[in-house]
């Protein structure tokens, strides 16, 4: 505040530097907000893709597991009660 009231060359230079600092600070805050939004969007997209990838891995794991072995039935007839 004092630098804007004083009329010396040095006070004017300091006032200009202060204004530039505030402009730069505002730019940094805006760029950080934009960066934060981008990171949030990427994080959300990665979670969605991760969920899809997990489902694919689960399905592939199920397909690769060996199926339950069912004993084959004999073809033909069984002779039952043949006590000759």
State the pLDDT confidence band at 82, using cuts at 50, 70 and 90. Answer: low
Tell me if 75 is assigned to some domain: no
Tell me if 56 is assigned to some domain: yes
Tell me if 42 is assigned to some domain: yes
Tell me if 28 is assigned to some domain: yes
Question: How do residues 30-81 score in pLDDT, each as one tens digit?
Answer: 788 888 888 889 999 999 999 999 999 998 888 888 777 777 877 877 777 6
Tell me if 79 is assigned to some domain: no
Whole domain around residue 37: which residue ranges? 2-63
Number of domains making up the chain? 1
Secondary structure in 3-state letters for the chain = CHHHHCCCHHHHHHHHHHHHHHHHHHHHHHHHHHHHHHHHHHHHHHHHHHHHHHHHHHHHHHHHCCCCCCCCCCCCCCCCCCCC
Check: pTM over 0.85? Answer yes or no. Answer: no
């Amino acid at each position: 505040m004092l630098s804007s009231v004083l009329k010396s060359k040095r006070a004017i230079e300091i006032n200009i530097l202060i204004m530039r600092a505030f402009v730069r600070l505002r730019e940094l805050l805006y760029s950080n907000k934009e960066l934060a939004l981008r990171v949030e969007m990427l994080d959300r997209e990665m979670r969605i893709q991760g969920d899809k990838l997990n489902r694919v891995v689960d399905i592939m794991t199920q397909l690769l597991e060996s199926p339950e072995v069912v004993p084959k039935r004999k073809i033909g007839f069984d002779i039952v009660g043949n006590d000759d």
